[in-house]
Amino acid sequence: MPLEVVESPRLYRQIADQLRGLIERREFGVGSRLPPERELAEKLGVSRPSVREALIALEVEGIVRIKMGSGIYVLDQPAGAHRKATPPEGEGPFELLKARELIESGICREAAKVITPGDIAALDAILLQMGTGGLSSDELIRLDRAFHVTIAGTLGNGVLVRCVGELFDQRINPYFARLARYFEDDQSWRETWGEHGVVRDALAARDGAAAGRAMRRHIQNSQMRFSRSFGDGQGAENHASEKQSLENRISSGRASVSARPPRQK
Protein backbone atom coordinates (compact mmCIF):
# COMPACT_ATOMS: atom_id res chain seq x y z
CA MET A 1 0.00 0.00 0.00
CA PRO A 2 1.73 3.21 -1.14
CA LEU A 3 2.30 6.03 1.26
CA GLU A 4 1.27 9.44 -0.04
CA VAL A 5 3.42 12.54 -0.27
CA VAL A 6 3.06 14.74 2.79
CA GLU A 7 3.43 18.49 3.04
CA SER A 8 3.32 21.27 5.58
CA PRO A 9 1.59 22.61 7.61
CA ARG A 10 0.84 20.24 10.51
CA LEU A 11 3.15 17.70 8.96
CA TYR A 12 2.96 15.39 11.95
CA ARG A 13 -0.84 15.15 11.65
CA GLN A 14 -0.55 14.08 8.01
CA ILE A 15 2.04 11.45 8.94
CA ALA A 16 -0.24 10.21 11.73
CA ASP A 17 -3.17 10.04 9.28
CA GLN A 18 -1.18 7.88 6.89
CA LEU A 19 0.00 5.51 9.62
CA ARG A 20 -3.52 5.34 11.05
CA GLY A 21 -4.84 4.41 7.62
CA LEU A 22 -2.30 1.59 7.27
CA ILE A 23 -3.27 0.30 10.71
CA GLU A 24 -6.98 0.44 9.89
CA ARG A 25 -6.34 -1.60 6.74
CA ARG A 26 -4.34 -4.11 8.81
CA GLU A 27 -1.11 -3.40 6.99
CA PHE A 28 0.21 -3.42 10.53
CA GLY A 29 -1.68 -6.00 12.56
CA VAL A 30 -2.68 -5.83 16.21
CA GLY A 31 0.33 -6.46 18.40
CA SER A 32 2.81 -5.89 15.58
CA ARG A 33 5.71 -3.49 15.95
CA LEU A 34 5.91 -0.46 13.70
CA PRO A 35 9.16 0.18 11.81
CA PRO A 36 11.66 2.32 13.72
CA GLU A 37 11.36 6.10 13.59
CA ARG A 38 14.49 6.34 11.47
CA GLU A 39 13.06 4.06 8.81
CA LEU A 40 9.66 5.77 8.72
CA ALA A 41 11.38 9.15 8.36
CA GLU A 42 13.46 7.89 5.44
CA LYS A 43 10.46 6.44 3.61
CA LEU A 44 8.30 9.53 4.12
CA GLY A 45 11.10 11.99 3.37
CA VAL A 46 10.51 13.88 6.62
CA SER A 47 12.46 14.53 9.81
CA ARG A 48 12.54 12.13 12.73
CA PRO A 49 11.01 14.75 15.08
CA SER A 50 7.96 14.93 12.76
CA VAL A 51 7.64 11.14 12.88
CA ARG A 52 8.00 11.23 16.66
CA GLU A 53 5.21 13.79 16.96
CA ALA A 54 3.01 11.58 14.77
CA LEU A 55 3.70 8.50 16.92
CA ILE A 56 2.96 10.46 20.10
CA ALA A 57 -0.32 11.61 18.51
CA LEU A 58 -1.28 8.02 17.70
CA GLU A 59 -0.51 6.96 21.27
CA VAL A 60 -2.65 9.78 22.68
CA GLU A 61 -5.46 8.51 20.43
CA GLY A 62 -5.02 4.98 21.79
CA ILE A 63 -3.93 3.46 18.49
CA VAL A 64 -0.35 2.49 19.43
CA ARG A 65 1.62 1.97 22.61
CA ILE A 66 5.20 3.12 23.00
CA LYS A 67 7.39 0.78 25.03
CA MET A 68 10.70 2.37 25.87
CA GLY A 69 13.58 0.13 24.86
CA SER A 70 11.33 -2.09 22.78
CA GLY A 71 9.39 -0.15 20.14
CA ILE A 72 5.95 1.05 19.09
CA TYR A 73 3.17 -1.54 19.03
CA VAL A 74 -0.30 -1.53 17.45
CA LEU A 75 -3.14 -1.81 19.95
CA ASP A 76 -6.39 -3.70 19.46
CA GLN A 77 -9.30 -1.41 18.58
CA PRO A 78 -13.01 -2.06 18.01
CA ALA A 79 -14.09 -1.83 14.38
CA GLY A 80 -14.45 1.80 13.28
CA ALA A 81 -12.93 3.13 16.51
CA HIS A 82 -10.18 5.02 14.66
CA ARG A 83 -12.64 6.87 12.48
CA LYS A 84 -14.68 7.96 15.46
CA ALA A 85 -11.68 9.31 17.35
CA THR A 86 -11.25 13.06 17.28
CA PRO A 87 -7.52 13.84 17.41
CA PRO A 88 -6.57 16.79 19.63
CA GLU A 89 -5.68 19.89 17.67
CA GLY A 90 -2.57 21.93 18.16
CA GLU A 91 1.02 22.32 17.16
CA GLY A 92 3.50 19.55 17.80
CA PRO A 93 6.05 19.74 20.64
CA PHE A 94 9.05 20.30 18.36
CA GLU A 95 7.27 23.06 16.44
CA LEU A 96 6.54 24.81 19.73
CA LEU A 97 10.12 24.43 20.95
CA LYS A 98 11.47 25.85 17.68
CA ALA A 99 9.22 28.89 18.03
CA ARG A 100 10.40 29.39 21.60
CA GLU A 101 14.03 29.10 20.51
CA LEU A 102 13.65 31.89 17.98
CA ILE A 103 11.55 34.20 20.14
CA GLU A 104 13.25 33.78 23.50
CA SER A 105 16.80 34.03 22.19
CA GLY A 106 15.87 37.42 20.76
CA ILE A 107 14.26 38.46 24.02
CA CYS A 108 17.44 37.56 25.90
CA ARG A 109 19.58 39.68 23.59
CA GLU A 110 17.39 42.69 24.34
CA ALA A 111 16.92 41.89 28.02
CA ALA A 112 20.68 42.07 28.62
CA LYS A 113 20.55 45.77 27.74
CA VAL A 114 17.95 46.70 30.34
CA ILE A 115 18.08 44.05 33.08
CA THR A 116 18.33 45.39 36.63
CA PRO A 117 19.82 44.01 39.85
CA GLY A 118 16.26 43.38 41.00
CA ASP A 119 15.59 41.26 37.92
CA ILE A 120 18.75 39.23 38.54
CA ALA A 121 17.69 38.73 42.16
CA ALA A 122 14.32 37.42 40.96
CA LEU A 123 16.05 34.94 38.63
CA ASP A 124 18.38 33.88 41.45
CA ALA A 125 15.40 33.19 43.73
CA ILE A 126 13.83 30.99 41.06
CA LEU A 127 17.08 29.10 40.46
CA LEU A 128 17.54 28.58 44.20
CA GLN A 129 14.12 26.96 44.39
CA MET A 130 14.75 24.87 41.29
CA GLY A 131 17.96 23.56 42.83
CA THR A 132 16.06 22.23 45.83
CA GLY A 133 15.77 18.46 45.79
CA GLY A 134 12.53 16.53 46.01
CA LEU A 135 10.37 18.86 43.93
CA SER A 136 7.48 17.42 41.99
CA SER A 137 7.26 17.65 38.22
CA ASP A 138 4.49 20.25 38.53
CA GLU A 139 6.62 22.39 40.85
CA LEU A 140 9.60 22.21 38.50
CA ILE A 141 7.45 23.16 35.52
CA ARG A 142 6.04 26.13 37.46
CA LEU A 143 9.55 27.36 38.29
CA ASP A 144 10.76 26.73 34.74
CA ARG A 145 7.89 28.87 33.44
CA ALA A 146 8.62 31.60 35.99
CA PHE A 147 12.25 31.78 34.85
CA HIS A 148 11.36 32.30 31.21
CA VAL A 149 8.49 34.70 31.87
CA THR A 150 10.62 36.76 34.28
CA ILE A 151 13.20 37.32 31.55
CA ALA A 152 10.49 38.43 29.13
CA GLY A 153 9.13 40.76 31.80
CA THR A 154 12.37 42.71 31.98
CA LEU A 155 11.48 44.37 28.68
CA GLY A 156 8.25 45.85 30.06
CA ASN A 157 6.25 44.55 27.09
CA GLY A 158 3.06 42.76 28.04
CA VAL A 159 2.68 41.21 24.61
CA LEU A 160 6.05 39.45 24.92
CA VAL A 161 5.26 38.27 28.45
CA ARG A 162 1.96 36.83 27.26
CA CYS A 163 3.58 35.27 24.19
CA VAL A 164 6.30 33.53 26.21
CA GLY A 165 3.81 32.39 28.84
CA GLU A 166 1.30 31.04 26.35
CA LEU A 167 3.93 29.19 24.34
CA PHE A 168 5.29 27.65 27.53
CA ASP A 169 1.79 26.64 28.61
CA GLN A 170 1.48 24.46 25.53
CA ARG A 171 3.42 21.94 27.61
CA ILE A 172 0.06 20.90 29.00
CA ASN A 173 -1.32 19.84 25.61
CA PRO A 174 -1.73 16.05 25.34
CA TYR A 175 1.16 15.57 22.90
CA PHE A 176 3.74 17.54 24.87
CA ALA A 177 2.63 16.01 28.17
CA ARG A 178 3.00 12.49 26.77
CA LEU A 179 6.43 13.24 25.32
CA ALA A 180 7.58 14.73 28.62
CA ARG A 181 6.43 11.62 30.46
CA TYR A 182 8.99 9.57 28.56
CA PHE A 183 11.97 11.92 28.59
CA GLU A 184 11.80 14.23 31.62
CA ASP A 185 13.52 12.94 34.73
CA ASP A 186 15.83 14.10 37.51
CA GLN A 187 18.79 14.21 35.12
CA SER A 188 16.98 16.30 32.50
CA TRP A 189 15.86 18.78 35.16
CA ARG A 190 19.42 19.07 36.49
CA GLU A 191 20.56 19.86 32.97
CA THR A 192 17.80 22.46 32.61
CA TRP A 193 18.78 24.07 35.91
CA GLY A 194 22.42 24.32 34.79
CA GLU A 195 21.46 25.82 31.44
CA HIS A 196 19.29 28.38 33.20
CA GLY A 197 22.33 29.36 35.23
CA VAL A 198 24.33 30.03 32.07
CA VAL A 199 21.53 32.27 30.76
CA ARG A 200 21.36 34.10 34.09
CA ASP A 201 25.13 34.72 34.14
CA ALA A 202 25.14 36.12 30.60
CA LEU A 203 22.27 38.46 31.48
CA ALA A 204 24.02 39.58 34.68
CA ALA A 205 27.11 40.36 32.59
CA ARG A 206 24.86 42.39 30.26
CA ASP A 207 26.24 40.39 27.33
CA GLY A 208 23.34 40.26 24.90
CA ALA A 209 25.05 38.05 22.35
CA ALA A 210 26.05 35.49 24.99
CA ALA A 211 22.60 35.59 26.58
CA GLY A 212 20.91 34.97 23.23
CA ARG A 213 23.25 32.08 22.48
CA ALA A 214 22.72 30.57 25.92
CA MET A 215 18.93 30.67 25.59
CA ARG A 216 19.06 29.27 22.07
CA ARG A 217 21.34 26.45 23.22
CA HIS A 218 19.10 25.74 26.22
CA ILE A 219 15.98 25.29 24.11
CA GLN A 220 17.88 23.34 21.45
CA ASN A 221 19.07 21.04 24.23
CA SER A 222 15.45 20.59 25.28
CA GLN A 223 14.68 19.47 21.75
CA MET A 224 17.60 17.05 21.89
CA ARG A 225 16.40 15.61 25.19
CA PHE A 226 12.97 14.99 23.69
CA SER A 227 14.63 13.41 20.63
CA ARG A 228 16.37 10.58 22.46
CA SER A 229 15.52 7.19 21.02
CA PHE A 230 12.47 5.30 22.22
CA GLY A 231 14.60 2.22 21.58
CA ASP A 232 13.29 -0.35 19.13
CA GLY A 233 14.88 -3.42 20.67
CA GLN A 234 15.81 -4.76 17.25
CA GLY A 235 18.92 -6.62 16.28
CA ALA A 236 20.41 -6.19 12.81
CA GLU A 237 18.69 -9.29 11.45
CA ASN A 238 15.23 -8.28 12.69
CA HIS A 239 15.76 -4.72 11.49
CA ALA A 240 16.65 -5.91 7.99
CA SER A 241 13.60 -8.17 7.89
CA GLU A 242 11.19 -5.44 9.01
CA LYS A 243 12.79 -2.95 6.62
CA GLN A 244 12.12 -5.33 3.71
CA SER A 245 8.55 -5.77 4.93
CA LEU A 246 8.02 -2.01 4.85
CA GLU A 247 9.56 -1.85 1.38
CA ASN A 248 7.00 -4.41 0.20
CA ARG A 249 4.10 -2.43 1.67
CA ILE A 250 5.00 0.77 -0.15
CA SER A 251 6.48 -0.60 -3.37
CA SER A 252 3.23 -0.71 -5.36
CA GLY A 253 2.83 2.48 -7.40
CA ARG A 254 5.70 4.13 -5.57
CA ALA A 255 6.12 7.84 -6.04
CA SER A 256 8.38 10.26 -4.24
CA VAL A 257 7.50 10.49 -0.58
CA SER A 258 9.67 13.51 0.12
CA ALA A 259 7.84 16.37 1.76
CA ARG A 260 6.95 19.14 -0.64
CA PRO A 261 8.16 22.63 0.18
CA PRO A 262 5.52 24.92 1.66
CA ARG A 263 3.21 26.46 -0.90
CA GLN A 264 4.00 29.96 -1.98
CA LYS A 265 1.42 32.49 -0.90
Residue 6 pLDDT class (50, 70, 90 cuts): low
pLDDT single digits (tens) 210-225: 999 999 999 999 999 8
Element (H, E) at 73: strand 71-74
Nearest CA to 87 out of 175, 171, 166, 7 is that of: 175
| Mean pLDDT for the stretch of residues 163-177 | 88
Same domain? 128 vs 144? yes
Percent of the chain residues past pLDDT 90, beyond the cut:
47
Same domain? 84 vs 100? no
pLDDT single digits (tens) 173-204: 788 888 888 888 899 999 999 999 999 999 99
Task: With respect to residue 22, please indicate whether it lies within any of the assigned structural domains.
Answer: yes
pLDDT single digits (tens) 76-90: 875 555 444 455 566
Same domain? 98 vs 221? yes
- Rounded to whole angstroms, the Cα distance separating 52 from 42 reads 13
Same domain? 136 vs 214? yes
**Residue 249: pLDDT over 50:** no
CATH number for 168 = 1.20.120.530
> How many Cα atoms are found within 13 Å in the side-chain-facing hemisphere of 115?
26
CATH number for 84 = 1.10.10.10
Same domain? 97 vs 194? yes
Residue 110 pLDDT class (50, 70, 90 cuts): very high
pLDDT (0 to 100) of residue 148: 98
pTM above threshold 0.85: no
Number of domains in the chain: 2
Determine the structural domain holding residue 180 and report its residue range: 93-225
pLDDT (0 to 100) of residue 103: 98
Same domain? 152 vs 83? no
**Residue 96: pLDDT over 60:** yes
Task: Give the mean pLDDT of the chain.
Answer: 82
Residue 238 pLDDT class (50, 70, 90 cuts): very low
φ, ψ (nearest 5 deg) of residue 69: 80, 0
Same domain? 184 vs 77? no
pLDDT (0 to 100) of residue 63: 93
- Rounded to whole angstroms, the Cα distance separating 265 from 261 reads 12
- Rounded to whole angstroms, the Cα distance separating 78 from 76 reads 7
pLDDT (0 to 100) of residue 58: 92
Task: With respect to residue 203, please indicate whether it lies within any of the assigned structural domains.
Answer: yes
pLDDT (0 to 100) of residue 44: 87
Yes or no: say if 258 and 15 are a contact pair by the CB < 8 Å rule.
no
Percent of the chain residues past pLDDT 70, beyond the cut:
78
Same domain? 70 vs 147? no
Task: With respect to residue 262, please indicate whether it lies within any of the assigned structural domains.
Answer: no
Same domain? 16 vs 82? yes
- Rounded to whole angstroms, the Cα distance separating 237 from 247 reads 15
Task: With respect to residue 1, please indicate whether it lies within any of the assigned structural domains.
Answer: no
- Rounded to whole angstroms, the Cα distance separating 118 from 211 reads 18
Residue 246 pLDDT class (50, 70, 90 cuts): very low
Burial class (CB in 10 A: 0-12, 13-18, 19+), 261: exposed
Pick from 66-75, 98-107, 256-265 the range whose average pLDDT is largest.
98-107
Same domain? 240 vs 204? no
pLDDT (0 to 100) of residue 252: 36
Same domain? 243 vs 197? no
Burial class (CB in 10 A: 0-12, 13-18, 19+), 102: exposed
Same domain? 120 vs 101? yes
